Amino acid sequence: MQRRAVRVWYWVHKWSSLVCTLFMLMLCVTGLPLIFGEEIYHLSGAEPPVAAPAPGARPADLDGLIARALDRYPGDVPLFLGWDPDHPVVYVNTGARPDTPPAAMHSVLFHQYSGEIIEAPPFNEGVMYTLYLIHTEMFAGLPGKLFLGAMGFLLALAILSGVVLYAPFMRKLGFGTVRRDRSRRLKWLDLHNLLGIVTATWVGVVALTGVLNTLERPLYENWQAGQLARMTAAWQGQPPPNRLASLETAVRAARAAVPDMHPSFVSYPGTGYSGFHHYGVFMQGDSELSKRTYQPVLVDATTSAFTATAEWPAFMQALYLSQPLHFGDYGGLPLKIIWAALTIVTIIVLASGLYLWLGRRRRSVEALLVEIESGGLVDAETAAGAA
């Protein structure tokens, strides 16, 4: 590789890494416990015992559950209702306004069959939720999300430039070379290269799927302005409904429209998920993949009559199908442990990169380029002196 090319890629690697490293360290540290969120929730005893439904029992009426959730939080409006995928539990989220952000929502859990209220710690309180907020938006809402998305993009650039620089550095070295007896810098340079190249693909996938996740809100807005607007063109310009029709009937209509799927959650009008006039009943299938994404069914919120359903456009499918590749929650506990180990290796790559940069701040760029091109075999300072 030409010296000029190495210089350009070195510049890209240095700046893309430097700008994002501290944020990436934060994401790794907060992401580690989030990998095991389910297990931590389970072990902490926060998970209430849920009795199995009595034989022949029928699910409780959804409108009744909504009414009791609103009794508990007077003045609230209902926002979402959803079914726990693993337990016979229905949750109802309410808030002061239809566009209440998750952090300010109230949540009531019900037994899906008996309809009894299940007392459980709110989903949006506690250490894990705080970690989640830091990890996803640093308490800064959508701007925070988009900022972290930009940082993730820089990380992808840092990986790409790192892989490019790996070639000149390794020209005379075998794979896996770690020279621990020369100098501390050389040892960490070798480790940075080794750990970096081995984890490059995984970190790249997690970074880019993370970037996609930060775009969830804009993607939903795009969907509502496109496919949803076309399906609900007849309601365009109408004032929001002031009285809502039965949700139970609406969910039945959705089930009848898509009989091979089951509802996962329902959004109320105005929540940003289904426009201003419709319930959005989000259906899921049973296969490993269709459990990860949804098919929205729109039901008129003033009549509970089926309006339309359509498969999501590719960008919405991509958003949801890519999520497991970010969370690592699709292969049992062993995969989570692998996810955690790879996160720790990533922390070492980030920290060693920072260490290498701090240790060479006052050296010339030429000296660093010689170091890269010679695989660290030529002492950088000597070369700089000679040049």
The residues that touch another protein, with contacts defined as CB under 8 A, are 163, 166-167, 170-172, 175-181, 191, 194-195, 197-202, 205, 288-289, 324-325, 330-332, 334-335, 338, 341-342, 345
Minimal distance in Å, beta carbon 323 to another protein?
11
DSSP state of 227: I
Could you give the 3-state DSSP secondary structure of residue 246?
coil
Supply the angle between the helices 127-137 and 141-169 in degrees, to the nearest 10.
70
Token pair 């300010």 in the structure block, residue: 104
Q: Which is nearer to another protein, 135 or 336 (CB)?
A: 336
Minimal distance in Å, beta carbon 197 to another protein?
5
Q: Which is nearer to another protein, 26 or 377 (CB)?
A: 377
Q: Which is nearer to another protein, 176 or 226 (CB)?
A: 176
Minimal distance in Å, beta carbon 366 to another protein?
22
What type of residue is 227?
Answer: Q
| Interatomic CA distance for residues 47 and 44, integer angstroms | 8
Question: Is the separation of the CB atoms in 155 and 203 below 8 Å?
Answer: yes
| Interatomic CA distance for residues 7 and 96, integer angstroms | 56
Minimal distance in Å, beta carbon 312 to another protein?
18
Question: Is the separation of the CB atoms in 254 and 69 below 8 Å?
Answer: no
Q: Which is nearer to another protein, 93 or 352 (CB)?
A: 352
Minimal distance in Å, beta carbon 124 to another protein?
29
| Interatomic CA distance for residues 228 and 234, integer angstroms | 11
Shortest CA distance to 50 belongs to which of 129, 115, 130?
Answer: 115
Minimal distance in Å, beta carbon 155 to another protein?
16
Q: Which is nearer to another protein, 103 or 170 (CB)?
A: 170
Q: Which is nearer to another protein, 134 or 163 (CB)?
A: 163
